[in-house]
């Protein structure tokens, strides 16, 4: 990753975390103010304040802070457990409030994350949804997809009761509905335009324990049309650039082997890392001989060849593989709420499978991976970045509701215990829970950063 790319990723990571944390903390702040609890400070970030200012809000003077470490935030309220409280203000201290009010204030943060996610999804869907058509190629031999009878150019219409419009929605539906194993009913439209149902036998396969993408794991392959071996563009400082390849060159032969399409070209190049290949290309009506040595690039445990060129794809082929879905105002809102609910439930399912050992722990991502995706989605476009923010906001909401001390969910757990037993948990019990929660969060963050570093190495 270049230094420019690194700074770009960091910038959009800070923007993402800043927006999501600010809205989360605003949830706590807004409900606390609504319930007449005295707020002392609203901070985005931890550590040394970079900027701070005070503002009069009704009868309260509240300090607003932007701090140096942008990985969280907090709302400080008047509380007898953190210092002396004047008798005239005791009725406005957080700890003196009825349990229902304390519950509402704490729950407001995660709830506001779900509200923000739904809003971002709405912005995304109201502008129309673009994606790759969920059309499959002939499945991998002896795979679950092959056993189910899938055929070349089957178009996926539904998984169970979930309608499928894009390849990405097909992938998520496989995870969501196949996470517990068993059998999946998939409705397809065949190349002959027949509507049929096929049953995918997942059995006891733990699809989240594998590092392979779920579609590949079950034998599904995305259908792609035959793309001519015509160079659309060259990446600067690449093997193609060094060899003298140019845009609009048509690759005719490699080592005297006729090349019929781009897929065949890529296959030869990937198998020839560091080996010199003899290209014959058609250029300006004539033929040119070119010597090209593919660069070596590590993919998993293998070295693959990389030439640094991309194809010229005719518009009619693009239209055969891409789809666009338009939504009305109500349709976009409904879709946004459904996506927020579905992704929340899926996140919770995946976390549950991790706890029981049925999902690989390397599914956990840390700040480096999130920063990378922040930069990638921002570079693609505003709407893609907005959708990324929606997904992260859902994850933040779900994680904060987990019954882990130090998180909002841990406090809510204490309040539920208080409701059942009729009195607050003891201070010793709460302090023990905080130490346990801090340890769990430290271990979780360590694992997430370890996974990030492993991804960078690979």
DSSP 354-389: HHTTSS-GGG---HHHHHHHHHHHHHH-HHHHHHHH
Query: Residues, the chain, total?
Result: 458
Q: How confident is the model at residue 255 (pLDDT cuts 50, 70, 90)?
A: very high
Which pLDDT does position 355 carry in this prediction?
76
Which pLDDT does position 360 carry in this prediction?
66
Give me the DSSP letters along 221-262: -B--PPPPSBEEEE-TTSHHHHHT--TTPEEEEETTEE--SH
The dihedral built from the CA positions of residue 266, 270, 271 and 276, taken in this order, carries a sign that is positive
Q: How confident is the model at residue 208 (pLDDT cuts 50, 70, 90)?
A: confident
Which pLDDT does position 361 carry in this prediction?
64
Give me the DSSP letters along 310-363: EE---HHHHHHHEEEE---HHHHHHHHHHHHHHHHHHHHHHHHHHHTTSS-GGG
Model confidence pLDDT, tens digit, residues 92-145 = 999 899 999 999 999 999 999 999 999 999 999 999 988 899 999 999 998 999
Which pLDDT does position 365 carry in this prediction?
67
pLDDT at 303 over 90: no
Mean pLDDT of 147-162: 93
Phi, psi angles (nearest 5°) of residue 340: -60, -45
Angle at 348 between CA 435 and CA 332, to 5 degrees: 130
Q: How confident is the model at residue 456 (pLDDT cuts 50, 70, 90)?
A: low
Which pLDDT does position 3 carry in this prediction?
38
Which pLDDT does position 287 carry in this prediction?
94
pLDDT at 427 over 70: yes
pLDDT at 288 over 80: yes
Catalytic status, residue 25: yes
Ranges 135-144, 195-204, 281-290, 308-317: which has the least confidence: 308-317
Which pLDDT does position 1 carry in this prediction?
37
Per domain, the residue ranges of the chain are: 129-225+315-325, 231-312
pLDDT at 150 over 70: yes
Instruction: Let me know if the fold of 129-225+315-325 is the same as that of 231-312.
Output: yes
Q: How confident is the model at residue 220 (pLDDT cuts 50, 70, 90)?
A: very high
Angle at 275 between CA 270 and CA 277, to 5 degrees: 85
pLDDT at 446 over 50: yes
Which pLDDT does position 213 carry in this prediction?
81
Model confidence pLDDT, tens digit, residues 26-79 = 999 999 999 999 999 999 988 888 899 999 988 889 999 998 887 788 999 999
pLDDT at 370 over 80: no
Beta bridge partners, 211, equal: none
Is domain 231-312 in CATH 3.90.245.10, yes or no?
A: no
Tokens found for residue 336: 């946004």
**CATH of span 129-225+315-325:** 2.30.42.10
Ranges 4-13, 40-49, 299-308: which has the least confidence: 4-13
Average pLDDT, the chain: 88
Yes or no: say if 279 and 290 are a contact pair by the CB < 8 Å rule.
Answer: yes
pLDDT at 5 over 80: no
Mean pLDDT of 13-26: 91
pLDDT at 448 over 90: no
d(C-alpha 225, C-alpha 241), whole Å: 27
Q: How confident is the model at residue 180 (pLDDT cuts 50, 70, 90)?
A: confident
pLDDT at 337 over 70: yes
């Amino acid at each position: 990753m270049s230094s420019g790319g690194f700074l770009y990723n960091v910038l959009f990571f800070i923007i993402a975390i800043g927006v999501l944390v600010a809205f989360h903390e605003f949830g706590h702040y807004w409900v606390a103010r609504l319930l007449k609890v005295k707020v002392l400070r609203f901070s985005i970030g931890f550590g040394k304040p970079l900027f701070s200012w005070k503002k009069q809000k009704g009868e309260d003077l509240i300090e607003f802070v932007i701090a140096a470490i942008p990985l969280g935030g907090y709302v400080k309220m008047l509380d007898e457990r953190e210092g002396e409280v004047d008798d005239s203000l005791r009725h406005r201290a957080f700890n003196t409030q009825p349990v229902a009010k304390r519950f509402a204030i704490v729950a407001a943060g995660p709830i506001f994350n779900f509200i923000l996610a739904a809003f971002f999804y709405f912005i995304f869907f109201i502008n129309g949804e673009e994606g790759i058509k969920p059309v499959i190629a002939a499945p991998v031999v002896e795979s679950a997809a092959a056993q189910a009878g899938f055929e070349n150019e089957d178009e996926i219409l539904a998984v169970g009761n979930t309608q499928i419009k894009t390849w990405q929605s097909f992938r998520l539906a496989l995870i969501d509905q196949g996470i517990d194993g068993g059998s999946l009913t998939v409705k397809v439209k065949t190349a002959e335009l027949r509507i049929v149902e096929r049953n995918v036998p997942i059995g006891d396969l733990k699809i989240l324990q594998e590092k392979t993408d779920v579609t590949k794991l079950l034998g599904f392959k995305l259908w792609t049309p035959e793309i001519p071996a015509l160079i659309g563009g060259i990446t600067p400082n690449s093997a193609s650039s060094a060899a003298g390849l140019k845009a609009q060159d048509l690759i005719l032969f490699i080592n005297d082997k006729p090349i019929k399409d781009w897929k065949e070209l890529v296959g030869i190049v990937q198998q020839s890392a560091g080996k010199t290949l003899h290209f014959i290309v058609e250029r300006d009506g004539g033929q040119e001989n070119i010597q090209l040595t593919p660069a070596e690039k590590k993919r998993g445990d293998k070295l693959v060849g990389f030439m640094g060129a991309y194809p010229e794809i005719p518009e009619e082929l693009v239209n055969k593989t891409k789809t666009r879905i338009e939504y009305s105002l109500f349709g976009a809102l409904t879709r946004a709420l459904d996506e927020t609910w579905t992704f929340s439930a899926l996140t919770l399912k995946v976390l549950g499978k991790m706890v029981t050992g049925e999902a690989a722990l390397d599914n956990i991502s840390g700040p480096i991976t999130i920063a990378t995706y922040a930069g990638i989605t921002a570079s693609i476009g505003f709407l893609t970045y907005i959708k990324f923010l929606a997904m992260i906001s859902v994850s933040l909401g779900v994680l904060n509701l987990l019954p882990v001390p130090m998180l909002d969910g841990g406090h809510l757990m204490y309040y539920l215990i208080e409701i059942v037993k009729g009195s607050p948990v003891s201070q010793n019990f709460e302090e023990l829970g905080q130490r346990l929660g801090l340890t769990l969060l430290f271990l979780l963050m360590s694992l997430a950063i370890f996974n990030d570093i492993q991804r960078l190495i690979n």
